[in-house]
Amino acid sequence: MIVDSPAEDIHFYYLSASGGCMRERTLKKLEEMNQAAEEGGGKGKIEEQHKKGKLTARERVAQLLDPGTFQELDKFVTHRATEFGMEKNRPLGDGVVTGYGMINGRLVYLFSHDFTVLGGSLGEAFGKKVVKVMDLAMKNGAPIIGLNDSGGARIQEGASSLAGYSEIFFRNTLASGVVPQISAALGPSAGGAVYSPALTDFIVMVKGTGSMFVTGPEVVKAALGQDISFEELGGAEVHARKSGVAHFITSNEQECFSLLRDLLSYLPQNNSELPPTLKTKDPPERVEKSLREIIPDDANKAYDVREIVKKVVDDARLLEVHANWAENVFVGFARMDGESVGVVANQPLFLSGALDSTASVKAARFVRFCDAFNIPIVTIVDVPGYMPGADEEHSGVIRHGSKLLFAYCEATVPKVTVITRKAYGGAYCAMGSKFSRADINYAWPEAEIAVMGPEGAVNVIFRKEIEGAADKEATRKALLKDYRETITNPYFAASRGIIDDVIDPAVTRPKLISALTSLRKKKEFRPHKKHGNIQL
């Protein structure tokens, strides 16, 4: 070949030619490495995963995130174990997919267990990958999402596996109250694999495939001689209805991802930001006359408090949390004039809306989450008191009930309360009262605020008068009427500033929105301390 160029040009030509070949080889190697990593445990394992009704780790990430936004990290990481023949099996990625992407255009960090690789078990390298994205999430102020499908600690790596879990637990604790942490149980989560989700803010479980337990059915059989299935021991229904471990349950993975996206839309990116505002066509001044008729004439008759909540929030749209556990209290997210709010409400359909141990824990945890992430709290009160009885006393209703008091008193976000019917005793104090530092307290005209219900109060205060009366029933009714007119009606509380205003039920929505708008720049401080000592 004749080249009409100086010597340096000829030298450059040969370098470029050899460089091109090298570049081709390195790019081919990169392609092969990517393909190997993306195949996970191989086609056979992927088919097994699909037969169980489960997606693969990467399919899950693709469905959850905005299209084309996922940026994977540590794709080529492998474990370093050599025991039990592990040196012969070093899959790329080590059983977990990690990285970041967008949900509704907002940054999130996530990890997705790959059950096709070593059963999604956690070893040293796996743990370090998860810890890396958790650290990045905290540095960048973005939510952390964990898609869980794991057999637990990798037995072959022994203490290194336990160290990996412990590092994750530590990060969960550091991130608590700093960035939202959300877990989805899409397959088994066993042993150490359950405690990281338990340390996060919300857990979503998929029926039929998601399960969580500290010790699995085989261990239960060996230790206790009991035969029990995965679903019976730690399935979605069990944890959503009995244990309260799961905040949400879904029918399939697609529904789970849709719920995760919806949940995040109510939450800020971190504790120094406000939740996103969404435009609404629902007028803030909307009057809802049907609220005047929603409370039954019979004071002991139940109704669904969700109907009140739906009528005052934007577009009647709610995202209920813990819908199947401790149903005597409602908690969930909604919007008012486009702004996120957390709603806590007594639910008369169950236990007459009385507070018990589980309801107190449920509401307290929700209030603390809202306070941590700058979400105003709207409280709807119709509470006859704390649940009486030996069972409740022995289960620790005093200890658990105090958690709700602690949560409301500790919270410094805007707090607005509406008493609709009953507000009796210590339960009233716990439900966003003026004494737990609610900012604005409203009452409907028929609300009753007292130490106890009028019937009980009259029987205690006027026992001798009633017993000595010729017509005991007539006397009791007259005393009851007088007690209601002088003590329990909302105007008595309003005369002492305990209630800020008695309102027409029809204007509840505009009153709430006006109050929340006025409180947007609220600043309230508590004494400096390392942390409080809530009754855990």
| The length of the chain, given as a count of residues | 536
Helix (H, G, I), strand (E, B) or coil at 356: coil
Residue 438 near residue 468 (C-beta atoms within 8 A): no
Measured CA distances, 341 to 366, 367, 433, 439 (Å): 12, 11, 18, 15
Residue 117 near residue 93 (C-beta atoms within 8 A): yes
Residue 535 near residue 403 (C-beta atoms within 8 A): yes
Active-site entry in 185, 427, 438, 443: 427
Residue 168 near residue 196 (C-beta atoms within 8 A): yes
Active-site entry in 40, 41, 99, 426: 426
| Of 107, 86, 225, residue with least CA distance to 160 | 86
| Of 167, 162, 238, 168, residue with least CA distance to 205 | 238
Please report, to the nearest 10 degrees, the dihedral formed by the alpha carbons of residues 204, 208, 209, 210 taken in order.
30
**Catalytic (active site) residue 191:** yes
Which tokens is 148 given?
Answer: 């869980």
Residue 480 near residue 458 (C-beta atoms within 8 A): yes
Sign, CA dihedral 230-234-240-241, equals: positive
Active-site entry in 192, 216, 401, 453: 192
Report the 10 Å Cβ neighbour count for 525. Answer: 6
Active-site entry in 40, 95, 191, 234: 191
**Catalytic (active site) residue 192:** yes
List CB contacts of 202: < 8 A, sequence separation 6 or more: 180, 181, 182, 183, 247, 248, 263, 321
Measured CA distances, 536 to 161, 197, 360, 400, 402 (Å): 28, 18, 12, 8, 10
Backbone torsion region of residue 425, taken as left when φ is above 0, otherwise alpha when ψ lies between -120 and 50, otherwise beta? left
Beta strand ranges found along 241-326 (DSSP E): 248-250, 319-321
DSSP category for residue 495: H
Distance between CA atoms of residues 288 and 294, nearest Å: 11
**Catalytic (active site) residue 426:** yes
Residue 64 near residue 258 (C-beta atoms within 8 A): no
Catalogue the active-site residues: 191-192, 426-427
